[in-house]
Amino acid sequence: MCDKNTGAAVRLKICGLSRPCDIDYVNEAHPDFAGFVVNYPKSRRSVTPQQLAQLRAHLDEGVLPVGVFVNEAPELVAKLLNDGIISLAQLHGDEDENYLKRLRTLTDGRLIQAFTIRSEKDAKLAMQSTADYILLDNGKGTGERFDWRFIREISRPWILAGGLTPENIRQAAESLRPWALDLSSGVETDGYKDRAKILAAAAAIRNMAGII
């Protein structure tokens, strides 16, 4: 069975929020998910768990906060889920099935596992994840697409990420029919989230409702 996103509108995730004004922008645009890169100083988008809690407190109900983690201690990921600071955890490092198993003993929270897609084999491997959702990406917020030809049959809900912009998400949604689209660099200007681009992405998604 090819479980593409048939019928239902595609969901939108805006990722890499780090400033109070970024929260204002997503509260105005109302995507389905708002992503925060947590405890990963190599990223200019990284926030501490304390900053995450402060930012998240101002997020509108209905925009679900997602913590993005790179090889984080499962205890911290579980605590943020169990305390309701985040609604989902996105695992964006080298987390394996043992890591997921350990995390499942600590929390019932929903998990997204990210995969870097460099070949058809990578895409096939992603299908085997026991996470609730898989996210297919070009890396870690690189702003670049992976080769979409590597994606064939996807028999589970999946999130498309990497190099998406307000201008190309319609084509992406129509041709690949993912469950959700994830944008970060594509809604930034000079390295910061851009209100107009976030609103344009949300408008593009709304205009697609009923089309894909």
Ligand X SMILES: O=C(O)c1ccccc1NCC(=O)[C@H](O)[C@H](O)COP(=O)(O)O
**Which residues are part of the catalytic machinery?**
15, 137
Least distance (Å) between residue 184 CB and ligand X: 3
Least distance (Å) between residue 40 CB and ligand X: 5
Q: Which two tokens stand for residue 101?
A: 């198993």
Of 89 and 161, the one with the shorter C-beta distance to ligand X is: 161
- Of 49, 65, 162, 178, which one interacts with ligand X (CB under 6 A)? 162
Q: Which of the stretches 94-102, 115-123, 157-165, 190-198 binds ligand X when contact is defined by CB under 6 A?
A: 157-165
Residue written as token pair 């913590």: 67
Could you tell me if 21 and 192 are in contact, meaning their C-beta atoms sit under 8 angstroms apart? no
Of 22 and 137, the one with the shorter C-beta distance to ligand X is: 137
Number of residues that bind ligand X (CB under 6 A): 25
Of 85 and 169, the one with the shorter C-beta distance to ligand X is: 169
Least distance (Å) between residue 68 CB and ligand X: 5
Least distance (Å) between residue 90 CB and ligand X: 6
- Which residues 18-77 are close enough to bind ligand X by CB under 6 A? 35, 37, 40, 43, 45, 68, 70
Find all residues with CB under 8 Å of 128, minimum gap 6, and list them.
none
**Pairing state between β 192-193 and 188-189:** antiparallel
- Which residues 124-153 are close enough to bind ligand X by CB under 6 A? 135, 137, 140-143
Q: Which two tokens stand for residue 99?
A: 């890591």
Interface with ligand X, residue 163, by CB under 6 A? yes
Of 77 and 210, the one with the shorter C-beta distance to ligand X is: 77
Q: Which two tokens stand for residue 115?
A: 């995969």
Residue ranges in contact with ligand X by CB under 6 A = 15-16, 35, 37, 40, 43, 45, 68, 70, 92, 135, 137, 140-143, 161-164, 182-186
